[in-house]
């Protein structure tokens, strides 16, 4: 019988949690730079076509810049909603659209009073403004296909966001957060995350927060890669998108 030799695990040097965390963040940032640069290069013909369609459909700028709240925050600091960056999207609304209806909807969503029946009775309710009159004809297509999100690769390349992380919230959303809701501001904001691959608009606000907190507690390269691999099928299926 062959003798199995076990190497004593206690004799092996172990990396400290701080070093492991720094290594993870460094590799994650390198991955963000490489993938976002490649994505911008590969998608440039699509982005040109989208920009042309937007310009022909309605007046206004092609790229919509919006203030969003940064991640990497201490949730106990006062006024996290003041830590913002310019968030890029393809414009899907009419220029100078009024945001008051969305502000009211956000309040209802956070308080658990939002949600409407899906057109498909076999599916869950949608927690989205499905009949928003501010959205253009081209904008509806861009949102359903997530093509309006492509300019966010510039945010990732700049370091405002990561490929994976909680979606960056609007300042008037964060103003209404309770202390536990602020936990989702701890990781770097991202283009995709557990919320996006778990149902998106079919999830309540509290479900979204719990997924973001779970990501903050479990974040690792393995989890990031799993989320990235699940993102494309989620986009193709358009589950929870509107």
pLDDT in tens, 208-234: 999 999 999 999 999 999 999 999 888
What was the pLDDT predicted at 10? 44
Separation of alpha carbons 224 and 230, rounded Å: 10
The answer to whether 162 and 186 are in contact (CB under 8 A) is: no
Residue 43 domain flag = no
Residue 149 domain flag = yes
Name the burial class of residue 38, with classes exposed (0-12), middle (13-18) and buried (19+) by CB atoms within 10 angstroms of its CB.
exposed
Residue 17 domain flag = no
Residue 20 domain flag = no
Residue 33 domain flag = no
Confidence of residue 114 (pLDDT cuts 50, 70, 90): low
Residue 4 domain flag = no
69 has which bridge partners?
84
Tally Cβ neighbours within 10 Å of residue 93. 21
Separation of alpha carbons 164 and 190, rounded Å: 5
pTM: 0.83
Residue 118 domain flag = yes
The domain in which residue 218 lies consists of 57-237
pLDDT per position as a tens digit, 49-80? 999 999 999 999 999 999 999 999 998 888 99
DSSP letter string, 189-209: PEEE-TTTTTTGGGS-HHHHH
Task: Give me the number of domains the chain comprises.
Answer: 1
Residue 103 domain flag = yes
């Amino acid at each position: 019988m062959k003798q199995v030799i076990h190497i004593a695990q206690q004799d092996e040097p172990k990396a400290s949690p701080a070093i492991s965390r720094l290594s993870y963040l460094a590799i994650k940032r390198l991955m963000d730079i490489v993938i976002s640069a490649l994505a911008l290069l590969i998608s440039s013909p699509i982005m040109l076509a989208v920009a042309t369609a937007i310009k022909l459909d309605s007046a206004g700028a092609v790229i919509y810049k919006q203030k969003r709240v940064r991640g990497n925050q201490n949730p106990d600091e006062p006024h996290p909603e003041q830590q913002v960056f310019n968030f890029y999207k393809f414009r899907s609304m009419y220029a100078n659209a009024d945001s008051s209806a969305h502000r009211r909807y956000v309040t209802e969503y956070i308080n658990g009073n939002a949600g409407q029946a899906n057109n498909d009775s076999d599916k869950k309710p949608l927690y989205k403004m499905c009949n928003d009159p501010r959205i253009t004809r081209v904008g509806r297509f861009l949102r359903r296909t997530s093509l309006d999100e492509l300019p966010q690769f510039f945010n990732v390349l700049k370091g405002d966001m990561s490929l994976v992380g909680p979606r960056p919230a609007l300042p008037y959303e964060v103003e209404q957060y309770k202390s536990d809701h602020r936990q989702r501001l701890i990781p770097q904001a991202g283009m995709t995350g557990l919320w996006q691959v778990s149902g998106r608009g079919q999830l309540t606000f509290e479900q979204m927060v719990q997924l973001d907190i779970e990501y903050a507690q479990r974040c690792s390269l393995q989890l990031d890669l799993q989320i990235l691999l699940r993102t494309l099928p989620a986009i193709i299926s358009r589950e929870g998108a509107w």
